Amino acid sequence: MKSSSFISKLPIVSVNEGEQIKTIQSLVVSRASKKVEHFTVNGGSGSIVPLMLAFKDVIGIGNDYVVVQSADTIKKLYDNNEFIAAAEEGVVLIGASVMTTAGEFLEKVADYVVDEKTGVIATLTLCNDQEIAGDKLVSISAKFIVVELSGAAPEAPAEEAPKAELDENIAFLAGKVVNSEVASGDGKFTIKAGTVLTEKLIAEAEKRDMLLQLTMAV
């Protein structure tokens, strides 16, 4: 197991060329598989062309180098359809916001640990040092990482939690524009696309258990 921050900036060595060719820049996680499937590559001083490397083309990730068979496995992003799709669909997790399925914002991702043989995420470490097991990942999007933490005890007393959570949601959502229509389970309350969220709308959505839907729609 190795952390993303450790793997990032490791030099890449090619077996065929017998020399260091580039360095890893960042890890790209697939939204679909929730695994590391690609790397962005640092092209060196003065390079302005984005480069990528597929995880499947890596022979090994050690303590000193990332090893590939040939320099040809590293390609210009816009010359390769696989890499274009990966760039559009993938997410660089560092700095991404994390929320629970209960609609609670936790923190942003500071780092994460990866199985260097499979690309599977073992743990996430948040900016407040909280660690979340990789099997708790529910979904990854460009806006949020959603995790399932059922059974976690609330930090605030039960009678104070609703107000504290609502205050956080109001602070996050107020003034944002809804991108897609959101409706309550009974269909009696709807917030249409294009609506600018007010504190009153957010409070009403909270009463109807719509905060997770609403958060994903802005």
Domain spans, the chain = 2-91, 97-108+118-147, 161-217
Instruction: Check if the beta carbon of residue 197 is closer than 8 Å to that of residue 175.
Output: yes
Nearest to 63 by CA among 110, 19, 1: 1
Q: Does domain 2-91 have CATH number 2.30.30.240?
A: yes
Inter-residue contact 39 to 27 (CB < 8 Å): yes
pLDDT tens digits, 161-198: 445 555 666 777 788 888 888 888 778 888 888 888 88
Q: Tell if the pTM clears 0.75, that is, is over it.
A: no
Bridging pattern class, strands 66-68 and 11-14: parallel
Q: How far apart are CA 118 and CA 120, in angstroms?
A: 5
Q: Given 1.10.10, 3.40.50, 3.90.105, 3.90.550, which CATH number is that of 161-217?
A: 3.90.105
Residue-wise pLDDT for 74-121, tens only, equals: 999 888 888 888 888 899 899 999 999 998 999 999 999 999 999 999
